[in-house]
Structure 1
Amino acid sequence: MFLQKLPWAGIRVLSGETSIAIDPMFHFPAKFGSSHEELFPLDEFGHADAVFVTHHHEDHFDPRAIAAYYGASIPVYVPQESVRHMTDTPLTNIQGVSLGQQIEIGELTITAGFSVDGFGDPQVSWIVEGGGKKLIHSGDTLWHGYWWKLSKAYGPFDAACLPVNGAVVEFPGMIPSGQPITLTPEQAVAAAVVLQANVLVPIHFRAVHHPPVYRETPDIAERLQQSAQNRIKLAILQSKEILPL
């Protein structure tokens, strides 16, 4: 199995002749200003047999890009509760998945696992198995109490793709909390350790920092390295970089 980093929170997983994309994005949400990392047309990463979306927020679900680069009829798997939020898209094959449900795509088996969204919206983690390897992608989850259940049910993992930007937001119409809505670097390391992951692959950082609407936590790379020391391997990937598992 190979893991390829896409911008922001996306990854592409390859096993044999099969490949899937999780949370691929090309069109940057206007509410966040301009992207702080380069975005690439999705076809520059290669083909995908199916797309898996952790939740319906526009920085994780980019239906225009999915349709344009993978085709409008590609299977797109989303949390069952998110289907009602995805009606006005060019995509023709959106399929809802329930927690614990398994999907077979070629040589890969993908399972919907626990995740907790920072705004209380439907969200899942995707657990991907193939070629004797296993990884988990947890969208933009915050810290929760399901890590131990995930570890017991599905671990250990060869890689854990976890958000690390500890975002604090002040969206219009919402009372500011001052609290992160995604994992901080230290929390991501702790979660990866509990998940019994061989390597932590940070996702969901670099692209978005647009104060006061959306503030990324500072010194991410340094904090990750300090927290991971003597605890877990760390692979901070650039877009298009491929990590063999």
Structure 2
Amino acid sequence: MQRIILGLLLTTLTGCAANHVSRLDGEGTTIKHSSHEGQQQRVTNLFTGKHDYPVTCSADCYPPHPQVVCEQPAENCQYTGPKRPAISGSGFTVRWLGHASFLIQTANNTSLLLDPVSDQFDWPVDWAFRLSDGFFRNPPAWPADDELQQVEAVLYSHVHYDHFNKADINALGTKPHYLVPLNFAEHFPSGGYHITEMAWYANTSLNDLTIHFVPANHFSSRIWVPYLYEDQNKTLWGGWVIEQGGKRLFFAGDTGYSPHFKKIQQRYGDMDVCLLPIASYYHPQDGEWYCYVHTTPEDALIAAQELGCKVMIPWGYGNASWKMGDISSHSPLLRLLHMQQEMNATTPLLILNEGDEVAL
């Protein structure tokens, strides 16, 4: 409550200051005209239509695993296996905060936040979600205030509530540089924020980093009632490649499986560290659509191979997850570990619990 009050106070004090917004164009961003007169143009995925999925688990996908210790079946769990890095010398230190949120520190001590959401959805959507599902997420493992003050850039993958929270913008303030997809800045409160909107394959520099915005296979909306046409796909979505000294970290954002993974590898080369989603692919009434915009664990393993990942860190599951479209908090992790064996997948996995940090 104190944090919300502080955010409202900051908005009141700084609300008259205009934001500083710039735009970087790239390649491959597809925008189509709306068929509804007066509506804005819409963004489309790079690869539209039906996709082929090389491997799909169809039965017994969630067996218990000896290194996933749970209070109930697949619920309230801790991964107890080794957390030794599969690589060394990349220069990246990765801390998983929960869901899609990461704190990244580079070899030159540049601190970045990826998709920070420190609590629930923005109000009042959080209460609408609770009334419909009867559920609030557990608090994630959030950085200390002095760590947040060192953050130089905040990167957002897309505008959905579980990846972008206005309360966190108020808390982080105007010091960081905000890197966002096209048409995203209109969702910021006014207050003097430094925002760069980026198209797919655009890049910018920060200290000795080159940061590239890359495609994902997803969608966007930011309204109370999801999937209404008026708001859908006005804002771009995507992932990030963070490059330093020839080493690359890839953050996929929310995405389904499509040929865009191969295209990213062909353009930038193999990835040293891959942060890949493995959750929200399951829905009993609309499973096909969920899989189209979210990778299954086996999709993520295939994507890691196509990206040339030297290590894959999965995300989306966990005790601080929203379990949106998932069976339980850790069913995606159990399926990942199961399918890694079934597929004889060769990409090394580095499994984290929320709050874990590893130097790679």
Question: Shorter-chain-normalised TM-score: which range?
Answer: 0.7 to 0.9
Query: Residues 153-189 of structure 1: CA distance to partner in whole angstroms, max 9, x if unpaired?
Result: 112011111110133459xxxxx63322311111111
Structure 2 residue identity aligned to 1:162: L
1:90/1:57 CA distance change after superposition, 3 Å = farther
Q: Residue 107 of structure 1: CA displacement?
A: 2.8
- 1:55 is displaced (CA, Å) by 0.4
Count of matched residue positions in the alignment of Structure 1 and Structure 2: 233
Of residues 120, 143, 150 in structure 2, which corresponds to 1:28? Answer: 120
Match of 2:239 in 1: 125
Residues 42-191 of structure 1 aligned to structure 2 (within 5 Å): 42-43=143-144, 46=147, 47-68=150-171, 70-84=172-186, 86-88=187-189, 92-118=193-219, 121=233, 122-168=236-282, 177-179=286-288, 180=290, 181-191=293-303
Q: Which runs of 4+ in 1 moved over 6 A?
A: none
Equivalent residues of 2:94, 2:358 under 8 A apart: yes
Instruction: Decide which of 234, 239, 244 is 2:349's aligned counterpart.
Output: 234
Structure 1 gaps, min length 5? 171-175
- Map of 2:101 onto structure 1: 10
Shift of 1:222: 2.4
- The letter for the 1-side match of 2:294 is T
Flag the structure with more relative contact order, 1 or 2, with Cα contacts below 8 A and sequence separation at least 6: 2
Moved more, 8-17 or 235-244: 235-244
Q: 1:45: Cα distance to partner?
A: 8.4
Fraction of identical pairs, as percent: 24
Query: With structure 1 as the length reference, what TM-score do the two structures score?
Result: 0.85
> Deviation string for 1:20-67 (max 9, x for gaps)?
1110111312126311x4324443682310100000111111232133
Match of 1:201 among 300, 313, 316: 313
Distance 2:278 2:104 in 1: 20
What corresponds to 2:358 in structure 1?
243
Q: 138-147 vs 89-98, which deviates more?
A: 89-98
Q: 2:249 aligns to what SS in structure 1?
A: strand
What's the CA shift for 1:217? 4.5
- Report the Cα offset of residue 89 of structure 1: 5.8
Q: How many Å separate the matches in 2 of 1:45 and 1:143?
A: 38
For 2:205 and 2:347, the matched residues in 1 are separated by 30
Residues 140 and 204 in structure 1, CA contact (< 8 A), matched pair in contact too: no
- Gaps of at least 5 residues in structure 2 are 1-91, 221-231
Report the Cα distance in structure 2 between the residues aligned to 1:91 and 1:227, rounded to whole angstroms: 47
3-state SS, counterpart of residue 115 of structure 1: coil
- Paired residue secondary structure (2:358): strand
Give 1 or 2 for the bigger CA radius of gyration: 2
Structure 1 vs Structure 2 CA RMSD: 2.3
In the alignment, the residues of structure 2 paired with residue 80 and residue 126 of structure 1 have an alpha-carbon distance, to the nearest angstrom, of 14
